[in-house]
Amino acid sequence: MERVFSVWERENSNSTVKCGNRLIVEERLKKYLKAYTFLVPISLLLIALDQLTKNLVRENLALNEYWMPVEWLEPYLRVVNWHNTGAAFGIFQGMNSIFMVLAFVIIGLILVYFPMIPTEDKFFRLALSLQLAGAAGNLIDRLYRGYVTDFISVGRFPVFNVADSCITMGVVVLLIGMWIEERRTQHEPRTDHYIEPL
């Protein structure tokens, strides 16, 4: 009888562990799906905008050709078809393969880390959504074309694109969020109490 009870107890314990593990996995999946419902739509929308604008430029302008219908704006703002094999804003030319690997790493880290960010931390979530869109938008170009299409030319500033803008805006949003959080922390009342020594 004791042996039968021992077997039953062991089987019951195993089923309890399996049930617990299944619940943990389900909760984790729900957490990931909830996080990605914020991340994915924003990133996909910006990636689509990035690819659409690049395709329009490639279809309508020859390499190094520029366009600006308003003549007096031409020295300050124009659209140009430019091939970039380096990083954002044309730096580190000829390092396309390195930036491809770097983009894969960044995208992977964002996808893994994003569900761990508290839902109330909206600035950080938005910043990473922008960073993901920027990294993925330029990665698509590097994979299929071997270069990134840049087309926004402002004055003497290096030519850039929508993906580059997403990366930059992601950094700006992150810094704003950190600044707001710092100010909020400074204005919170102190909860620690001073105890006089005996």
> Which residues participate in catalysis according to the annotation?
150, 164
In a 3-state reduction of DSSP, which class is residue 148? Answer: strand
Give the containing element (helix H, strand E) for 154: strand 148-154
Q: What is the Cβ-side half-sphere exposure of residue 82, based on CA atoms within 13 angstroms?
A: 20
Amino acid identity, residue 25? V
Contact 160, 152 (CB under 8 A): yes
Mention every residue, 6+ apart, whose C-beta is less than 8 A from residue 52: none
